[in-house]
Amino acid sequence: MKKIKVLIVDDSPFTIDYLNKILGEDPEIEVIDFANNGKEGLEKTKKLSPDIVVMDIEMPIMSGIEATEKIMKEKPTPIIILTSSLNTRNLYKSFDAIKNGALEILNKPTSRPTDEWDETIKELLGTIKRASKINVFEKKWTRESKLNQANLNSRYSVIAINSSTGGPRILNDIFSNLREDFSIPVIVAQHISFGFTQGLVDWLNIYSPLNIKIAEDDEILKGGDIYFPPDGAHVTVKNDRIKLLYAEPVRGIRPSGNVLFESMANNYGKESIGIILTGMGKDGLNGAKKIKELGGLIIAQEPDSTIVASMPEAVINNNLADLILTPNDIINTILEIEERK
């Protein structure tokens, strides 16, 4: 069996030794080398062609942000960012690395066992294995938006978005291009590592003219606001209010796009818009069926424009997508729909 080749980039010798030990214990993974800063990481990525780069953010000579940008331009490779700090400054930097092309941000494992230690290791190993299969060559989104008039209702009350790997970058593209007076509430189920949701929301708020926030249970939906569930919760809607469900993950996923979409369909019917963006797996498929059955609109991201195509492809292959659009097309379509409201 061919092993997954990993390059570790971190300025801490202790962290490198510890990550090498953790990754080396997995029979599917081989650590092929180490780098102590982003510049060295870039050079070794070009020389060694690893399947995955596991990278720190704060490093001398060249940061993880700059190294990510250069790697994606010069030698596109899946990059996973590890951070040991959830403070605002470090999270902004981590999400800037996502904007530059990194796939995921994860908690950096510590050598001292904690309540979350096993889950942190499991998540890191699983993410490396999934990310090693992803083609990260940059894709261009150039097509003009073309609306099929027959697919559009005259009124839509709520937009729900489901996204996973690659989602933060696309969400930033969409939300930063909506108008300040945009009047439809938006609810997002983004699959993200525990502890990073608030950082994602704060980062998105830097670029968007709209109010992006962590949803509160029972709050009334407000036009133009964008809601993310807090860590550990599913998000639903009922009677124009947010309802948070602190329940178990659905098929390993929380927040679940299916849970969100099904509640949207049950409460808004044909006034619902469900958007399925980049991601691995089939989350959102069953919920999209429900929205479609009740006359709502389903938009799938064009697979060629995704980082991971399987989530939108599941919807497309089941003939549920009314529109199959690139991110630029999605922006134009949302704006045109809102103008008709």
Q: Which of 10, 56, 225, 283 is catalytic?
A: 283
Task: Name the residue with tokens 């998105």.
Answer: 204
pLDDT for res 92: 77
pLDDT for res 87: 59
Mean pLDDT by 10 residues, the chain (341 residues): 94 93 95 97 97 95 96 96 73 86 88 69 92 74 46 80 95 96 97 91 96 98 97 96 96 96 97 96 97 95 92 96 93 89 68
Q: Which of 63, 157, 163, 164 is catalytic?
A: 164
pLDDT for res 136: 76
Tell me if residue 49 is catalytic: no
Domains of the chain from N-terminus onward:
4-131 (3.40.50.2300), 149-340 (3.40.50.180)
Tell me if residue 283 is catalytic: yes
Q: Which residues are CB-contacts of 289 (< 8 A; sequence separation ≥ 6)?
A: 318, 320
Strand pairing partners for 269?
Answer: none
Residue 45 identity: T
Tell me if residue 191 is catalytic: yes
Output the 3-class SS for 265-324: HHHHHHHEEEEECCCCCCCCHHHHHHHHHCCCEEEEECHHHCCCCHHHHHHHHCCCCCEE
pLDDT for res 109: 82
Write the DSSP assignment of 150-206 as a string of letters: GG--S---EEEEEE-TTHHHHHHHHHTTS-TT--S-EEEEE---TT-HHHHHHHHHH
**How far apart (Å, rounded) are the C-alpha atoms in residues 233 and 265?**
19
Instruction: Output the pTM of the full model.
Output: 0.90
**How far apart (Å, rounded) are the C-alpha atoms in residues 284 and 209?**
27
pLDDT for res 88: 59
pLDDT for res 115: 60
Query: Burial level of 246, CB count in 10 A (0-12/13-18/19+)?
Result: exposed
Write the DSSP assignment of 117-163 as a string of letters: HHHHHHHHHHHHHHHTT---------PPP---GGG--S---EEEEEE
pLDDT for res 210: 97
**How far apart (Å, rounded) are the C-alpha atoms in residues 205 and 199?**
10
Q: Which of 51, 96, 191, 234 is catalytic?
A: 191
pLDDT for res 93: 81
